[in-house]
Chains A and B, each alone.
Chain A
């Protein structure tokens, strides 16, 4: 995924209007581009071409349904560890070797390693967390989500 900002003139006003409007939703109807295009003053073909171009340029990371991974049957848990600096690289290798570790970040805090475990079944979380504790000799703090809030995140293009 592109992580660098685009030059300011890479997008025109129409691109920006599309990015802003379609973040809120995309119609679930036989001709969704025609429907969404009406509000933007764009024809079906033009909107499709614009979205395709934005996707190819790496301006869109996802276009379609957003699934709740847990509703699909998986289990997830945010975990944190306080890893001594002199063992950090070795512990990264041990932790990342588990395919259940979906992503892992170093953070500036005493708890300096934060990762998400993703398993097919809820029992899998404990199993992997215990295995990591046994391999590293360090505690794995578990922060399962108790409640997730509806997310209003929007990026103004």
Chain B
């Protein structure tokens, strides 16, 4: 997946969000000296290549009362991990789902899924739903609740890097 210098300018111009005007893509085009059609085509192409996952609104889930979360982790049969991970990732209460290497003997888990809910009780109930979905393919599981944010910085692409 390669992006050229113009794509990079487009990423930098829009990673803070789209302008709230009737023609946002035209406005961005004006900033960068491109045409609106070019901006739309490039965004379409980046979406097709997976550089852009989607163009959408992300609500602040804390403001909407979804304030609890837990990192659920599972030891899933390798042969079934991809198929099951796909189903877990599609759940509407899971915000991140990944397969990661185990770190034996300390860490037997290979599937990670971040669960969100209005409170811990709801998070725990959702975890039970995942356990049911995984069934016999899952040997063990755990959930790690965060007790403190030690550092949080936004990820931003450096200009020209």
Which chain A residues have a beta carbon within 8 Å of chain B's beta carbons? 1-6, 18-19, 22-26, 28-34, 44-45, 48, 51-52, 55, 57-69, 71-74, 78, 80, 82, 92, 95-96, 101-109, 111, 113-115, 118, 120, 141-157
Contact = CB atoms under 8 A, between A and B. Distances in A.
A103 B149 contact: yes
Nearest to A154: B92
A156 B14 CA distance: 26
Given A28-B44, A64-B14, A66-B58, A6 B64 contact: yes
Given A26-B57, A62-B58, A150-B90, A108 B144 contact: yes
A15 B103 CA distance: 45
Contact of A60 (B58, B100, B142): B58
Interface of B: 1, 3, 8, 11, 14-18, 20-26, 36, 40, 43-44, 46-47, 49-67, 71, 82, 85-86, 88-101, 103, 106-107, 112, 116, 142, 144-153, 155, 157-158, 161
**Interface class of chain B by DSSP:** mixed
Contacts of A63: 17-18, 20, 56-58
A84 to B, nearest CB: 15
